[in-house]
Structure 1
Amino acid sequence: MSARHKARKRALDVLYESEARSRDPLTTLTERRARNTDLGPEDEDYAVELVRGVVGARDRIDALLGEHAVGWELDRMPAVDRAILRIGAYEVLERDDVPDEVALAEAVALAEELSTEDSPQFVNGLLGKLARVKP
């Protein structure tokens, strides 16, 4: 497993836990950073950038996900899928240093690892739409 994949998984864990506990993701991030030091500094920094980026762009990300998720409302999706989609959307929309294909592949890999049987295809389709329509 690549270091960036571990960083994405860490960010996913933070976002998922925060939603499940109705907590601010930045508070959860701070607590987890104090407890876990299994990532190298550069990869830990990337996990932090992902969480902060998703938090900062969440309204835009959620609006776009809701607009393009045909037949699905964001709040009806599995929580883990929402977190995966938010990270993937952030990378597609806001990170010029991450190719769209990599962001999609990583999101699909997380969905395969952590979500339902149908989630990888759903995540790939929705993030693929965002990649095609982004400015």
Structure 2
Amino acid sequence: MSGSQKKLGARHKARKRAVDFLFEAEARDLDPVNLAAERVDLSGKDDTVAPVNPYTVTVVTGVAENLDRLDRVIADHLQGWTLDRLPAVDRAILRIAVWELFHATDVPPVVAVDEAVELAKELSTDESPSFINGILGQVVLVAPQVRAAAAATAQPHPAAEGESGAS
């Protein structure tokens, strides 16, 4: 196995832990960012608590900061379903994958989708992997435009200051 395989393994575990944190935070009505921070802190004090991969914190924070938009995108692609009807673990997996598709420029779209399908195989129902793959197969089509728009707005230029929001 090459070094990149090992890195993928670490990222996979980080995503899985992010699913756990998002799932737990939703179930207990907690802020997922605070939950992750508490676990990071706890892992530094108690060696029985597994260390938290920095990518886990990045993902949980990214999902939390963009939750409304991520949920809108997911809901727009649920034909005949509502977000509330999905298993909570599927919601967490979809939120992570859509966040990666839109914001994690170091993660190729095919990897984000494959990882989500793998997580669904490990953590959810028998139907979930193909369901998640179908939704993400649609979302991946709009991801390049979303990334480009985010990159354009992340780099303000002087002309933008005087413009109104009309578009």
Q: TM-score range by the shorter chain?
A: over 0.9
Please state whether the residue corresponding to 2:57 is helix, strand or coil: helix
Aligned counterpart in structure 2 of residue 114 of structure 1, from 110, 113, 123 = 123
Which residue identity is paired with 1:118? E
User: Over alpha carbons, which structure has the higher Rg?
Assistant: 2
Aligned counterpart in structure 1 of residue 114 of structure 2, from 86, 99, 105 = 105
How far residue 126 of structure 1 moved from its aligned partner, in angstroms, is 0.6
| 1:87 maps to 2:114 | no
**Which residues of structure 2 form unaligned runs of 5+?**
1-5, 44-48, 146-167
User: Equivalent pairs: percent with the same residue?
Assistant: 50
How far residue 34 of structure 1 moved from its aligned partner, in angstroms, is 2.6
Distance 1:125 1:8 in 2: 20
| 1:72 maps to 2:72 | no
Which residue identity is paired with 2:27? A
Please state whether the residue corresponding to 1:52 is helix, strand or coil: helix
Structure with greater contact order relative to length (CA < 8 Å, sep ≥ 6) = 1
Q: Which runs of 4+ in 1 moved over 2 A?
A: 34-39
Distance 2:91 2:21 in 1: 13
Distance 2:104 2:26 in 1: 23
Which residue identity is paired with 2:40? R
- Normalised to the residue count of structure 1, the TM-score between the two structures is 0.92
Aligned counterpart in structure 2 of residue 7 of structure 1, from 6, 14, 24 = 14
Over the aligned positions, Cα root-mean-square deviation in angstroms equals 1.4
Distance 1:114 1:10 in 2: 11
**Which residues of structure 1 form unaligned runs of 5+?**
none
- Normalised to the residue count of structure 2, the TM-score between the two structures is 0.75
